[in-house]
Structure 1
Amino acid sequence: MASHEVNILLVDDKPERLLSYEVALESLGYNMVRAQSGTEALSKLMVMEFAAILLDVSMPDMDGFETAELIRNHPRFEETPIIFVTGLHITDLDQRKGYAMGAVDYVQIPVIPEILRGKVQALVQLYLQRVELTRLNQKLAQTNAELAKAHEELKARNMRELQELNQTLEQANAALTATNNRLTLEIGERERAEQALSQSMKRKDEYIAVLAHELRNPLSAIHNAVMVMQMPTSSEQQQAWAHELLQRQVKHLTCLMDDLLDVSRISNGRIQLHTEVVDLAQVVNHAADTIAPLLKKHRHQLKVVVPDRPLYVEGDTVRLSQVLGNLLTNAAKYMDDGGQIDLVLEQQGDKVAQIRVRDRGVGIPAELLNKVFDLFVQAPSALNRAQGGLGIGLALVRALVELHGGATRVTSDGPGLGAEFSVCLPLVDRVPQAQTAIPTPPRSSQPLRVLIIDDNSDSATGLSLCLQSQGYDLRVAHSGKEGLMAARLQRPDVVLLDIGLPDIDGYEVAQRLRREQELKEICIIAMTGYSGEADRNRAEQAGFNHYLVKPVELVKLLDLLDAQTCAA
């Protein structure tokens, strides 16, 4: 009973008397609820249950007798005991009237605390006993109902068990037969799963070996170039060769990293397409131009065939170019020097565009035709070739094409007889909207003020030297707080901001810059190793104007800075 909450309603229009009631009853540990009018008391009763009501007789608007009558007339409160409080002498008639209204007792003002506590405590004990009795009656009724229900269920269960016994015996043999069949199937599935796991582990081991090979080659070349640059006797021609090699190998490593990140994004469903209406002929011609240096290196001939009328698809130009670039790169790598590649764009039926890439190279064995688009799958000769690759290019092709609602296919007559890869994409009827040319503003004569904030001192110093050579006014900071201080002093036009800083990250730095009146309009360019779509979205929300992934291409950065120079 003690765990049940006990509420006492104190009704008096005088706040000082309400306080005296609370002080007198405080030691009982009950919850005291105030009301300063009969109307307020009725509203409290509608939302709470009270063990007793201490009710002032003399109140304006509605006196205690009227309030008690309204309480008693409500079926929910007719059992709630009321103690009238009065400072006047009451006659026997008044007492009878009060008892008729539901009063169980009277107390005189000034209230004697001991007497008030005794009366209230007695009423609370009665209230708790009544609550406990109600609970026990409910529990007894529930128990009786449960016993009756259990009795009926027992009878019904006995009948069902008798009926089900024969069915169980009949089903036992059938179940045993089905179990044997299922076990046979599970054993077969387990053997196939173990075989697939073994093949997958083997492919992963092979992939790790290829990855190590692909990383060691450019790292070895970079190491050699650095040694040449450090030689005091190296000539200008040797220095130029080393610089060119470093640029080429860093670009190669960047491509490897981009491919690995794309595979991760596609596997986790996090890659997003930036689609528009695209003329496939432009994509085909762009891919042909991009692959030209590799074709020239291997003395390959590329025959491009496109239709006279444009074929439009809804697609991401960059990703579609990546698809064709991967197919053309594969064709060039897996064919002896001096070969020919056919790149054909054509329409299939009314609603499909098809792009075919045909080579005369090493071909594909029949057992690999259904697997060439899987991750880490390569032709057996790939490991022995100078540029074997990671075995993820075709997996990216299939995934990107499927994101465009298309399909891929490969055919080959066998080893040494070349291969043909086909990409099919759904056509659209819409024509791309013409873009309005934007006039170029005059170039400012003042050098652009650039602030680099990067905790990697080597990276920051190298980039600073490159930009200083281009005529930009450079400052460098190596932490977020140092960068904010430098920005306030220098008032730069552009901030090149790393996100992974040691104290406060680049997102917070950008947000703080945007909150300062003198700095909120500056151009903020992210330079970071984080390349996920979520990272880009977070950077945009933080206030970045542009987002570049490390290693940053200097040409792309200079284009952004040049645009800021023209706008200055």
Structure 2
Amino acid sequence: MALATLIPVIIFSTVAIGQLLEAERSAALRGMRETVNAITLAIDAELSSAEAALAVLAQSEAIKSGDSDSAYWQAKAVGKGRDEWTVLTALNGQQLMNTFFPRGAALPVLSPRSIARIENVARTGVPQVSDLVIVTASMEHAIAVDYPVKVDGRVRYILTKAFRADHFAGALQERNLPESWVIGIFDRSGISIVRRPGAERFVGRPVRPELYSASRANASGVLRHETRDGVDVFDSYTHSRKAGWTIAVGVPVAEIELAARRAVWLSVLGLGAAVLCAATVAVVFARRLIGSIDGAVDAADTLAKGEAPPPLKTSVGEVDQLHLALNNAGTLIQRGQRERAELLLREQQARRLAEEQNKAKDEFLAMLGHELRNPLSAITSAIDVIEAPGMKQATVERARSILRQQTEHLGTILNDLLDLSRIMSGKISLNIAPIDLGRTVQMCIDTLKTTGRMTGHRLVLDLHPMRIAADATRIEQIVNNLLINAVKYTPEDGLIDVSVRQEGESAVLTVKDTGIGISADLLPHIFDVFVQGSTAIDRAQGGLGIGLSLVHQLVTMHGGSVAASSKGAGQGSSFTVRLPVSVAAATSGTTSPNALPAGVSRRILLVEDNEQARLMVASMLGAHGHIVYESGNGLDGLKIAVEERPDIAIVDIGLPGMDGYQFVRKVRDTRGIAGMPVIALTGYGQETDRQRALQAGFNLHMVKPVNIPKLLEEIDRLIVHDDSETVRTL
């Protein structure tokens, strides 16, 4: 009877134990799936972050224009660690920039597989994540996130962020998974990217065929099989939506079964106690489970709001794992939201900057158009006066003077623009020599008086000799800009006070005026480029708003400082330049080349394709007693040089057929004229143009419009000294 009474208990206990075994096994497998999902989310988030970073970097002008130098340092600045690098590749597979290597190092040729990957991204125009690849330079395993760089709606380059394969092992280390678990990530072709344990043996090798087949057949699942190192495991796997990789977590079957068996033994040992206090245990367990489930529900609600629920600790392991997974998911969601917010903010800032730059460009073009039309109008009128019959000689001479002044004015505008461009791009150099600042200021004032620019103003001078080490041309530019600025904004009969003195170890130049002054809101920006005070529609004062900016840049390059002050509109202004006094400059003298006798007739070859420009230069040279051989192209010019053996050649760069560079190379290779001095006369005046002239073989580089007196001086200098190793830009 007692045995019969125990039979239902035994049967129930047996069934319960079996169900408990299955429940423990299911809970373990569920925890594996949650772990796999959490790892997958982390990997997808890392890949999305890399793609977002590439998207931002792809908008850089340096990337779009293929400026590999600027692109290299921008990509280097946003790099996060040593296990990642950025590559910019042309569509033909040539690497333009690779932060894996030091700047300037030779870049390896891409493998055919990598070129095919680049071509696929270029063809589809869609970012892609690669399978496992091998870095040619280091033979390391890596993966790549490829992003198409579009310029004017077309893919021009491919921007790649590459990661070492072990970079993604960090997603495993963050979860402190048991060492006995077998965790792997393999690509779409079944090649291991990450493997723990045994990374050194298995990364880069195919996974077990049964696992690969199962992963291809189903997006996720659980498979029991034997690993490559002979461990019988339950393998839970799923796919990365971003990359198409498979993430698998394998827990040894023995470990899961051991946990289940422990639960069974505890159940058996506690069976007697369970019978006695079943009701109490049921109530306690129910409350605990309900509380844990309620906590999980609250965590899910928090996650639905886009927040990260705290990883609560309960007495139910599965619920703890669920809390942890929800916390990780919330963290990833918040990170994505922050990144989206940052991207949106950067986009808004970039748009505002672009709008401001576009507005500044429009205003500058309007100013430039006005400043160019005025002298062009005067030049046109002067030409009409000169060509008109019956004009008095005085009127014609006045027209010629206006023509010369306005031409020089156009040249000044062009030179200021080019100088500012060179300074802002760091391509200008200074020819430092000892000069007298006081004498330089006096010369500039005398020149302005000669041209009639300062005849209507009262001038007070206090100029002391002051030796400094500086570029004489640039110092004259600084002084002229300050003086012209004072003249421009000071009405006739106004006072202009100019002084040069020494204060401590500084030479101080001060230009004061009683003109219209500077308003308080304009004063802090007076040295910014394109900044001017309010002007009337007729722009009587004129100017592009670059003169004072040029002064500031040139003074800074000399190691000095410039400051502006004004009590307000209508109360005049004062500009003070401080330059260091050089001991060497104060004690050393200057030497000048030997002057050549005036009136010596030279035989000069002039090669210029612009007929009018050639006619004017030839006429001026002829007027000074020189014999001029003219040619409109390089081939005829070379023939004349061989036949006539001129003393010197003046050659335009942009010639039809044979350009100026080819011409001078032919001269240097031709016996009899190889040593003939050759002057480059061109509209290209950048530092790179000067260097190219040096390399080609020119003796001198002069920029149009040509200054005839200076040209005559350089012709005599080159013929006498034959200094073929010195190239200067004038």
TM-score by length of 1: 0.66
Residue 670 of structure 2 corresponds to which residue in structure 1? 516
Q: CA 1:519 to 1:334, structure 2 compared with 1: closer, same or farther past 3 Å?
A: same
**Is the Cα–Cα contact under 8 Å of residues 454 and 487 in structure 2 kept in the other structure?**
no
Mapped to 1, the partners of 2:424 and 2:597 lie a distance apart of: 47
Q: Give identity over the alignment, percent.
A: 35
- The one-letter code matched in structure 2 to 1:265 is R
- The one-letter code matched in structure 2 to 1:312 is I
Q: CA 1:538 to 1:148, structure 2 compared with 1: closer, same or farther past 3 Å?
A: same
- The one-letter code matched in structure 2 to 1:286 is M
Q: CA 1:141 to 1:529, structure 2 compared with 1: closer, same or farther past 3 Å?
A: closer
Q: How much has 1:200 moved relative to structure 2?
A: 3.8
Residue 728 of structure 2 corresponds to which residue in structure 1? none
Mapped to 2, the partners of 1:429 and 1:393 lie a distance apart of: 30
Give 5+ residue unaligned stretches, structure 2. 1-200, 209-226, 236-247, 256-310, 312-316, 723-730
Per-residue CA shift, 1:266-307, capped at 9, x if unaligned?
232222222234443343333333333466545123333345
Q: Which moved more, 1:523-532 or 1:285-294?
A: 285-294
Mapped to 1, the partners of 2:597 and 2:581 lie a distance apart of: 42
Q: How much has 1:489 moved relative to structure 2?
A: 0.9
Q: Where do 1:34-433 residues align within 5 Å?
A: 147-148=228-229, 154=249, 197-293=354-450, 296-307=453-464, 310-313=466-469, 315-350=470-505, 352-381=506-535, 383-431=537-585, 433=588
Q: CA 1:567 to 1:185, structure 2 compared with 1: closer, same or farther past 3 Å?
A: closer
Mapped to 1, the partners of 2:681 and 2:342 lie a distance apart of: 55
Residue 603 of structure 2 corresponds to which residue in structure 1? 449
Q: How much has 1:370 moved relative to structure 2?
A: 1.8
Mapped to 2, the partners of 1:418 and 1:455 lie a distance apart of: 50
Residue 493 of structure 1 corresponds to which residue in structure 2? 647
Q: CA 1:166 to 1:399, structure 2 compared with 1: closer, same or farther past 3 Å?
A: farther
Q: How much has 1:141 moved relative to structure 2?
A: 12
Q: How much has 1:429 moved relative to structure 2?
A: 2.7
Mapped to 1, the partners of 2:322 and 2:468 lie a distance apart of: 69
Q: How much has 1:169 moved relative to structure 2?
A: 5.8
Match of 1:559 among 710, 713, 721: 713
Mapped to 2, the partners of 1:263 and 1:458 lie a distance apart of: 30
**Is the Cα–Cα contact under 8 Å of residues 290 and 325 in structure 1 kept in the other structure?**
no
- The one-letter code matched in structure 1 to 2:365 is I
- The one-letter code matched in structure 2 to 1:258 is N
Give 5+ residue unaligned stretches, structure 1. 1-137
Q: Which moved more, 1:322-331 or 1:290-299?
A: 290-299
Residue 33 of structure 1 corresponds to which residue in structure 2? none
**Is the Cα–Cα contact under 8 Å of residues 294 and 332 in structure 1 kept in the other structure?**
no
Q: CA 1:542 to 1:192, structure 2 compared with 1: closer, same or farther past 3 Å?
A: closer
Per-residue CA shift, 1:195-229, capped at 9, x if unaligned?
55544433332222221111111111111112122
- The one-letter code matched in structure 1 to 2:403 is L
Q: Which structure's relative contact order is higher, taking Cα pairs within 8 Å and 6+ residues apart?
A: 1
Q: Does the residue aligned with 1:367 lie in a helix, a strand or coil?
A: coil
Coordinate RMSD, CA, aligned: 3.9
Q: Which moved more, 1:454-463 or 1:540-549?
A: 540-549
Q: Which moved more, 1:552-561 or 1:402-411?
A: 402-411
Q: Does the residue aligned with 1:303 lie in a helix, a strand or coil?
A: strand
Q: Does the residue aligned with 2:604 lie in a helix, a strand or coil?
A: strand
Q: Does the residue aligned with 1:487 lie in a helix, a strand or coil?
A: helix
Q: Which moved more, 1:426-435 or 1:486-495?
A: 426-435
Per-residue CA shift, 1:131-168, capped at 9, x if unaligned?
xxxxxxx9999568984599899469x9x999997577
**Is the Cα–Cα contact under 8 Å of residues 444 and 566 in structure 1 kept in the other structure?**
no
Per-residue CA shift, 1:40-63, capped at 9, x if unaligned?
xxxxxxxxxxxxxxxxxxxxxxxx
Q: How much has 1:507 moved relative to structure 2?
A: 1.4
**Is the Cα–Cα contact under 8 Å of residues 460 and 497 in structure 2 kept in the other structure?**
yes
- The one-letter code matched in structure 1 to 2:462 is V
Q: Does the residue aligned with 1:216 lie in a helix, a strand or coil?
A: helix
- The one-letter code matched in structure 2 to 1:239 is V
Q: CA 1:213 to 1:320, structure 2 compared with 1: closer, same or farther past 3 Å?
A: same
Mapped to 2, the partners of 1:141 and 1:383 lie a distance apart of: 73
Q: How much has 1:260 moved relative to structure 2?
A: 1.5
Residue 725 of structure 2 corresponds to which residue in structure 1? none
**Is the Cα–Cα contact under 8 Å of residues 204 and 376 in structure 1 kept in the other structure?**
no
Structure 1 residue 484 corresponds to structure 2 residue 638: yes
**Is the Cα–Cα contact under 8 Å of residues 218 and 253 in structure 1 kept in the other structure?**
yes
**Is the Cα–Cα contact under 8 Å of residues 444 and 565 in structure 1 kept in the other structure?**
no
Mapped to 1, the partners of 2:718 and 2:635 lie a distance apart of: 25
Residue 77 of structure 1 corresponds to which residue in structure 2? none
Q: CA 1:337 to 1:565, structure 2 compared with 1: closer, same or farther past 3 Å?
A: same
Q: Does the residue aligned with 2:496 lie in a helix, a strand or coil?
A: strand
Q: Does the residue aligned with 1:357 lie in a helix, a strand or coil?
A: strand
Residue 434 of structure 1 corresponds to which residue in structure 2? 589
Mapped to 2, the partners of 1:164 and 1:392 lie a distance apart of: 66
Q: How much has 1:444 moved relative to structure 2?
A: 8.5
Q: CA 1:515 to 1:444, structure 2 compared with 1: closer, same or farther past 3 Å?
A: farther
Mapped to 2, the partners of 1:149 and 1:377 lie a distance apart of: 76
Q: CA 1:338 to 1:478, structure 2 compared with 1: closer, same or farther past 3 Å?
A: same
Mapped to 2, the partners of 1:182 and 1:370 lie a distance apart of: 36
Q: How much has 1:389 moved relative to structure 2?
A: 0.7
- The one-letter code matched in structure 2 to 1:238 is T
Q: How much has 1:396 moved relative to structure 2?
A: 1.1
- The structure having more radius of gyration, on CA atoms, is 1
Give the length in aligned residue pairs.
427
**Is the Cα–Cα contact under 8 Å of residues 448 and 454 in structure 2 kept in the other structure?**
no
Mapped to 1, the partners of 2:632 and 2:571 lie a distance apart of: 57
- The one-letter code matched in structure 2 to 1:334 is Y
Q: Which moved more, 1:230-239 or 1:291-300?
A: 291-300
Structure 1 residue 529 corresponds to structure 2 residue 683: yes
Mapped to 2, the partners of 1:356 and 1:566 lie a distance apart of: 42
Q: CA 1:441 to 1:407, structure 2 compared with 1: closer, same or farther past 3 Å?
A: closer
Q: CA 1:268 to 1:472, structure 2 compared with 1: closer, same or farther past 3 Å?
A: same
Q: How much has 1:516 moved relative to structure 2?
A: 2.0
**Is the Cα–Cα contact under 8 Å of residues 434 and 589 in structure 2 kept in the other structure?**
no
TM-score by length of 2: 0.52
**Is the Cα–Cα contact under 8 Å of residues 648 and 719 in structure 2 kept in the other structure?**
no
Mapped to 2, the partners of 1:480 and 1:244 lie a distance apart of: 34
Residue 75 of structure 1 corresponds to which residue in structure 2? none
Q: Which moved more, 1:472-481 or 1:297-306?
A: 297-306
**Is the Cα–Cα contact under 8 Å of residues 379 and 406 in structure 2 kept in the other structure?**
yes
Q: Which moved more, 1:206-215 or 1:430-439?
A: 430-439
